C-alpha cells in the first residue's frame, strides 16, 4: 500500500475524538483509497471505490461512517454489507476502534451461523450494523431492524458478494432504504452487474480508483517455479523446508484441491488446515483461530474463503494454482509483507500457464522471477546456516557459564577435546546425514524396530494399489517383497516401511521410477 498525505489533511473535518482514536491506531499517512474516498464521503457524496482488500478500505468508509453517526440517537443509521462472516467481524472490530472515544456509538456484526435470537437482543440501541446480505435480509423480513433513519449504506467487496449469489439480496436491501441516504460501493472489479447496481441506486457517484500497480506490495519477493502438476506437492514441501516460514498461506482454486493438499501436508508432518466454502461456520472459526494463534502453521484456502483474513505475521504466500483473475494475484500476495516485514510469494506454473503468468505481470506491472526448486543439498545447507545463526545469537546474548563447566569437566575426564564435543553437538542438533545416508532415516516415524518409513507421492487417486507399490520397490531395487512392512495408502500419497539396510538403495533406485505411468518421488517420511 503506497502511503500518501498525512491524516492532518482530514483532521479539520473530523471530531477530535475520532482523530485521537485513529492516531492511537497508528494512522500517520493515508493510503491512496483513503486519500480519495474520505473527503467525498465526509461531504455526503456517493462513491464507487475500485480497490482490493488490504488497501485500507475499511478505514476509508469507517471514518466517515463514525463521523456521521449521532450518538444520542439509539437507532440504526448505517448499514455495511460484506461477503463473509470473517470480513464482517474484522470490519466491525475496526469501526469500534475508530469509535473508541465516541461514547454512545454501538457497532454490531450480524451474520449467518450465529443464533439469531442473540443477534436480535444485541440489536437494541445499535447505530451501525456490519453484516452479510443474507442475514441482513433475514432481519429485515423479521422487522428486527428499522430502516427509517438509515443515512449511509456501504457495499464492501461488492464483486465477491455478486460471485456468491447475493445480487438479489443486495438490490432488495438497497431498494428498501427510505429517504435520502448516501451509498458507497467498493469492488475490486467492475463487471456489468456492479455497474447496473451503481446506475440504479447511486446518485452522481464519484469514482475513486487505486491502480493495480499501486497495490503490489514492494516488500514481497515474487518467484515462480515451472513444475508438472503431479510435482506441486513435492515442490511445495521442498520450499517450506528451505525457507521455513512461520506462517504460510497457500491458495488453491478449488475446494477439492484444498482438501487434497491439506491431507498431503498433514501426512508429511505439517500442522496444516483448510478453509473453503463447504465448511461449517464453526469449523471455519476454529481454523482461523488456530492460524491467528500460530497453532496452525499452514492455511490452505480458496480465494473467497480467504476474504477477511488479516494476519500480519504471514511470511509466505503460495499460489499452488495460479488465480483465475489477474487481480486476485495482487490480493493474494498482499497477505504477506505487512507491517514493514519482508514477505515471499511462490507461484507454481504448469505447461501453458506461463502465458497466464505473463498476463499477471503485465497487469500488475511487476516482475515475477523464475527459480528452480531447491535441491535436498540446498535444504540441508540452509538448515545448517540457520542453526549457526541461532548458535551465534546464543553466544552473544545468553549466559553459558554452566555449560562451559560441563564441557570442561568432560574434557578433563575423557580424551575428547572441546572441539570434538562441539562438533558432536552440532551434528546432533542439525540432523544432517552422513555420507552413507544413515542419519536421514532416524526420525521417519516407523513403527517396527529396524524399519524406515518412506513417503511416496502416489496414492489411490492415481488408481494405484499396494501391489503396485510393492512391485515397483522390488523391481527397481531388488528388495525382497516379503521384507516390506506396512503400506498405508491415501488419496495422493503412500507410506511404506522397509528395512533400514535397504532404504538408501531404494531411494537411489526409485529416483526416476514410474508407478502407473506416473513419475514418483520417494523420500524419508517425517516423524508422526
Q: For 164-184, what is each residue's pLDDT tens digit?
A: 889 999 999 999 998 889 999
Q: Are residues 420 and 503 in the same domain?
A: no
Answer yes or no: is 163 within a domain.
yes
User: Which cell is 456 given?
Assistant: 511416496
Q: Are residues 65 and 140 in the same domain?
A: yes
Residue 317 pLDDT? 93
Answer yes or no: is 77 within a domain.
yes
Q: How far apart are CA 393 and CA 125, in angstroms?
A: 55
Range of the domain at 290: 220-374
CATH number reported for the structural domain that contains residue 289 in this entry:
3.40.50.300
The CA–CA distances, whole Å, from 343 to 11, 63, 233 equal: 33, 29, 21
Answer yes or no: is 46 within a domain.
yes
Q: Are residues 250 and 333 in the same domain?
A: yes
* Residue 54 confidence class, pLDDT cut points 50, 70, 90: low
Q: Are residues 228 and 335 in the same domain?
A: yes
The CA–CA distances, whole Å, from 43 to 11, 19, 210, 313 equal: 14, 17, 20, 37
Residue 434 has pLDDT above 60, yes or no: no
User: Which cell is 314 given?
Assistant: 504471514
Among 374, 395, 422, give the residue marking a domain's end. Answer: 374
Mind listing the pLDDT tens digit for each residue in 458-492? 888 888 888 888 888 888 877 777 888 888 888 88
Residue 20 has pLDDT above 50, yes or no: yes
Q: Are residues 270 and 402 in the same domain?
A: no
* C-alpha 149 chain-centroid distance: 39
Residue 213 pLDDT? 46
Residue 308 pLDDT? 59
Other residues' Cβ atoms within 10 Å of the Cβ of residue 467: 10
- Kindly report the pTM of this predicted structure: 0.52
Residue 328 has pLDDT above 90, yes or no: no
Q: Are residues 172 and 24 in the same domain?
A: yes
- Specify the residue for cell string 442473540: 118
* Residue 18 confidence class, pLDDT cut points 50, 70, 90: very high
Among 411, 432, 453, give the residue marking a domain's end. Answer: 432
Q: Are residues 194 and 294 in the same domain?
A: no
Mind listing the pLDDT tens digit for each residue in 267-323? 777 889 998 877 877 788 888 888 988 889 999 998 776 665 667 788 999 999 998
Q: Which range is least confidently modeled, 320-324, 414-418, 437-441? A: 437-441
Secondary-structure percent of the chain, ordered helix, strand, coil, rounded to 5: 45, 15, 40
177 versus 382: the higher-pLDDT residue is 177
Answer yes or no: is 1 within a domain.
no
Residue 317 pairs with which residues in a beta bridge?
A: 249, 345
Q: How far apart are CA 403 and CA 515, in angstroms?
A: 52
The CA–CA distances, whole Å, from 193 to 81, 162, 166 equal: 17, 8, 11
Residue 137 pLDDT? 93
Q: How far apart are CA 434 and CA 45, in angstroms?
A: 70
What DSSP designation does 463 have? T
* Residue 84 confidence class, pLDDT cut points 50, 70, 90: confident
Overall average pLDDT of the 389-396 stretch: 87
Residue 340 pLDDT? 62
Residue 248 pLDDT? 93
Counting the structural domains of the chain, the total is: 4
Q: How far apart are CA 445 and CA 269, in angstroms?
A: 10
Mind listing the pLDDT tens digit for each residue in 216-275? 455 788 999 999 888 898 899 999 989 989 899 999 988 889 988 998 888 777 889 998
Residue 212 pLDDT? 53
Q: Are residues 301 and 248 in the same domain?
A: yes
Asked if residues 328 and 212 have their Cβ atoms less than 8 Å apart, the reply is no
Residue 4 has pLDDT above 60, yes or no: no
Q: How far apart are CA 440 and CA 191, in angstroms?
A: 54
Overall average pLDDT of the 47-63 stretch: 84
Answer yes or no: is 253 within a domain.
yes
Q: Are residues 142 and 19 in the same domain?
A: yes
Residue 431 pLDDT? 57
Amino acid at each position: 500500500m503506497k502511503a500518501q498525505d498525512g491524516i492532518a489533511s482530514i483532521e479539520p473535518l473530523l471530531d477530535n475524538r475520532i482523530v485521537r482514536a485513529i492516531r492511537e491506531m497508528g494512522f500517520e499517512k493515508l493510503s491512496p483509497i483513503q486519500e480519495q474516498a474520505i473527503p467525498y464521503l465526509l461531504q455526503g457524496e456517493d462513491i464507487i471505490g475500485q480497490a482490493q482488500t488490504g488497501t485500507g478500505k475499511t478505514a476509508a468508509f469507517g471514518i466517515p461512517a463514525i463521523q456521521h453517526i449521532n450518538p444520542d440517537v439509539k437507532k440504526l443509521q448505517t448499514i455495511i454489507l460484506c461477503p463473509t462472516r470473517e470480513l464482517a467481524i474484522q470490519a466491525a472490530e475496526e469501526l469500534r476502534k475508530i469509535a473508541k472515544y465516541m461514547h454512545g456509538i454501538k457497532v454490531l456484526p450480524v451474520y449467518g451461523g450465529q443464533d439469531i435470537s442473540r443477534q436480535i437482543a444485541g440489536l437494541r440501541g445499535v447505530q451501525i450494523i456490519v453484516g452479510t446480505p443474507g442475514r441482513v435480509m433475514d432481519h429485515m423480513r423479521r422487522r428486527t431492524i428499522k430502516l427509517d433513519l438509515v443515512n449511509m449504506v456501504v457495499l464492501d467487496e461488492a464483486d465477491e458478494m455478486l460471485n456468491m449469489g447475493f445480487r438479489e439480496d443486495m438490490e432488495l436491501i438497497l431498494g428498501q432504504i427510505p429517504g435520502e441516504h448516501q451509498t458507497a460501493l467498493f469492488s475490486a472489479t467492475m463487471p456489468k452487474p456492479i455497474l447496473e447496481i451503481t446506475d440504479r441506486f447511486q446518485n452522481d457517484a464519484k469514482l475513486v480508483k487505486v491502480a493495480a500497480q499501486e497495490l503490489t506490495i514492494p516488500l514481497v519477493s515474487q518467484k515462480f517455479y515451472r513444475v508438472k502438476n503431479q510435482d506441486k506437492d513435492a515442490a511445495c514441501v521442498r520450499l517450506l523446508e528451505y525457507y521455513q516460514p512461520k506462517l504460510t498461506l497457500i491458495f488453491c482454486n478449488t475446494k477439492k484441491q484444498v482438501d487434497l493438499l491439506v491431507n498431503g501436508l498433514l501426512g508429511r508432518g505439517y500442522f496444516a488446515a483448510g478453509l473453503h466454502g463447504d465448511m461449517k461456520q464453526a469449523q471455519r472459526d476454529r481454523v482461523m483461530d488456530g492460524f491467528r494463534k500460530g497453532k496452525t502453521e499452514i492455511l490452505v484456502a480458496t480465494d473467497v474463503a480467504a476474504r477477511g483474513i488479516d494476519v500480519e505475521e504471514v511470511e509466505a504466500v503460495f499460489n499452488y494454482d495460479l488465480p483465475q483473475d489477474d487481480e486476485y494475484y495482487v490480493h493474494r500476495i498482499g497477505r504477506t509483507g505487512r507491517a514493514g516485514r519482508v514477505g515471499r510469494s511462490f507461484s507454481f506454473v504448469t505447461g501453458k500457464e506461463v502465458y497466464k503468468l505473463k498476463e499477471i505481470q503485465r497487469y500488475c506491472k511487476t516482475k515475477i522471477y523464475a527459480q528452480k526448486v531447491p535441491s535436498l543439498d540446498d535444504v540441508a545447507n540452509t538448515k545448517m546456516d540457520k542453526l549457526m545463526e541461532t548458535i551465534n545469537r546464543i553466544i552473544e546474548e545468553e549466559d553459558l557459564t554452566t555449560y562451559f563447566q560441563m564441557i570442561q569437566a568432560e574434557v578433563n575426564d575423557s580424551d575428547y577435546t572441546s572441539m570434538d564435543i562441539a562438533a558432536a553437538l552440532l551434528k546432533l542438533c542439525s540432523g544432517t546425514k552422513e555420507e552413507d545416508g544413515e542419519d536421514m532415516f532416524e526420525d521417519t516415524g516407523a513403527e517396527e524396530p529396524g524399519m524406515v518409513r518412506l513417503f511416496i507421492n502416489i496414492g489411490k487417486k492415481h488408481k494405484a494399489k499396494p501391489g503396485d507399490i510393492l512391485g515397483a520397490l522390488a523391481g527397481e531395487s531388488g528388495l525382497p517383497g516379503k521384507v516390506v512392512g506396512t503400506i498405508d495408502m491415501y488419496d495422493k500419497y503412500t507410506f511404506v516401511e522397509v528395512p533400514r539396510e535397504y532404504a538408501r538403495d531404494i531411494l537411489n533406485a526409485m529416483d526416476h521410477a514410474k508407478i502407473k505411468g506416473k513419475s514418483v518421488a520417494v523420500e524419508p517420511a517425517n516423524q508422526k
